[in-house]
Chains A and B, each alone.
Chain A
Amino acid sequence: MAGPWEMVIGLEVHVQLLTKTKLFCPCSTAFGAPPNANTCPVCLALPGALPVLNRGAVRLAARAAYALGCTVHEESVFARKNYFYPDLPKGYQISQFDRPLATGGFLALEDGPGARGVRIHRVHMEEDAGKSIHDRYPGHSAIDLNRSGTPLIEIVSEPDLRSAADAGVYLRRLKQILEYTEVSDANMEEGSLRVDANVSVRAAGADALGTKTEIKNMNSFSGVERALEVEFARQVALVERGERVVQQTMLWDAGSGTVRPARSKEESHDYRYFPEPDLPPLRLTSAVLAEWREAVGAQRAEPFQQRERALERSGLRSLEPRKFREVALAPGKQLERGAGEIDAANLGIVLRRERTLFALVPQPQAHPRCGAARAAGTLVRGSARDALEHEAVEADGRIEAHDACEA
């Protein structure tokens, strides 16, 4: 066969939800605690402990799904994915399998009507595993279960992406949406957003899909783009030599800029999914769903670029967080002066992209309440963003800290 070759990409993105507590127990999700400090009978999987669903996590997951244009189902089902791993305390992960929370969304890669985009196959909820550290104690792996049970959503795209650059655009836009909607920090470096990529090649214009490989171990968006290019080149070279692509998992090595096959597990995966009997099906009334959808709709209606322009005009876009706080979030008059034409009353949530502030979200209704809850001493994560938010809330004295940010 000969070229030109087309790359076909589908992305599976795991995102940590910005909840205060874990998905199935009231342990804190805060980072930085001593190992195994944020654990309890449930997330240690002690004999007899049972999961209880965090409805705040459901609300965030649904919000993300609506922001991605998905249908959120009135009934979805948690399932057990069974496998042994020392940082998976129960011996199964509670996930969703054949009946996910949401399906059938769309993420535009461009603005304007008829823009190109990527179909979202599904969004489902699941719990994170703990961490295994392999290099601290010789001959041992060290298990820290603080992350065990942290709420995640997995966002699975259809294989609609055709280039590494588009994959990058998809991820950056996805990150923006997750940040705007306050669903997640969506920070790949910190691990609150993780990407696995399914890649295959085919002759341009062909209908059938080629054999795919899955690439893991990427820790930045540019890393994803580079890994995709490298894997594409590898697959093209194979096919052009008349060899077959083997379905397998590849690990990206950012240092050498190469991919290599992951060591195969000693057994084939057979996760023995079955419905989680400790949790009833997740039922959401149409009234609740309608309310959640509307809240997201208002936000979604506002085009990104409009917000971006407002930010540009404000002159705050390029400020470092600390500087921003000085000029924009000082109490009283300074607030208005520093914020320029941004109305103080509309000052809602400050978002940051890496170390640079990039957006102000003008007061979506749910947000001040989230902010208030955190101002009341319950900061989710010790990030700069939270600190800023805290002060934003204080500066806007009208917001009362009486309401919790939950479903």
Chain B
Amino acid sequence: MAVSETDVLHVASLARLAVDPARLPALVRELNGILEHMEELGAVRVAGQASSVERQAPKAGDLASASRPDDGPSIPLAHPIESFAPHVRGGFILVPRLATHEDQGTRSP
């Protein structure tokens, strides 16, 4: 399966990456150069398609060892959000308003 310029632009938009049009043909070539090597996987027969969530470690995963009680304390920050966030006001982190936004307090999809 080779990717086209359209595919790359679509994927770039999903990943919130702007692709320089001048760089696009080279990028398509590079990605196809890599994907070409993936083709041999298609020929491999996999009995029953082993679970995609198979874990590395033999003992991972019962509830007791891989969870925590519903309790604090919270994990402290050595310095406050204001010290690393690009734009903070009144305790809020500010971002440019979403262009299509008109509703107040609307939640993400």
Contacts and interface: CB of A to CB of B under 8 A. Distances in A.
A87 B107 contact: yes
Contacts of A220: none
A235 interface: no
B92 A84 contact: no
Nearest to B10: A267
A132 B106 contact: yes
A142 B89 contact: yes
Given A25-B75, A265-B109, A272-B14, A141 B70 contact: no
Interface string A294-318: 0000000000000000000000000
Given A55-B69, A272-B14, A406-B70, A263 B61 contact: no
Contact of B70 (A42, A56, A77, A270): A56
Contacts of B13: 266-267
A143 B77 contact: no
B71 A21 contact: yes
A26 B75 contact: yes
B43 interface: no
Contacts of A275: 52-53
B44 to A, nearest CB: 20
A383 to B, nearest CB: 18
A40 B89 contact: no
**Interface size bracket, B side:** 35 or more
Interface string B4-35: 00000000011010000000000000000000
A137 B94 contact: yes
A26 B97 contact: no
Contact of B61 (A132, A141, A266, A281): A281
Contacts of B73: 26
Contacts of A84: 16
B68 A54 contact: yes
A25 B77 CA distance: 13
B74 interface: yes
Given A19-B70, A55-B70, A267-B14, A36 B93 contact: yes
A284 B63 contact: yes
A280 B14 contact: no
B108 to A, nearest CB: 4
Contacts of A88: 108
Contact of A41 (B75, B87, B105): B75
B103 A251 contact: yes
B55 interface: yes
**Interface size bracket, A side:** 35 or more
A188 interface: no
Contacts of A139: 96-97
A143 B94 contact: yes
Contact of A142 (B14, B52, B64, B94): B94
A25 B73 CA distance: 10
A26 B94 contact: no
Given A132-B105, A140-B87, 20 more contacts: A19-B70, A26-B71, A40-B77, A53-B66, A55-B68, A56-B70, A86-B95, A88-B108, A134-B103, A135-B104, A136-B92, A139-B96, A140-B97, A142-B92, A142-B94, A265-B100, A269-B109, A274-B52, A280-B61, A284-B63
11 contacts: A25-B74, A37-B91, A39-B81, A53-B68, A56-B70, A85-B109, A88-B108, A132-B105, A133-B92, A134-B104, A144-B91
Interface of B: 13-14, 16, 52-53, 55, 60-64, 66-77, 81, 87, 89-98, 100-109
Pairs of residues from A and B, 8 with the lowest C-beta to C-beta distance, nearest first: A56-B70, A280-B61, A142-B92, A35-B91, A85-B108, A55-B67, A40-B75, A143-B93
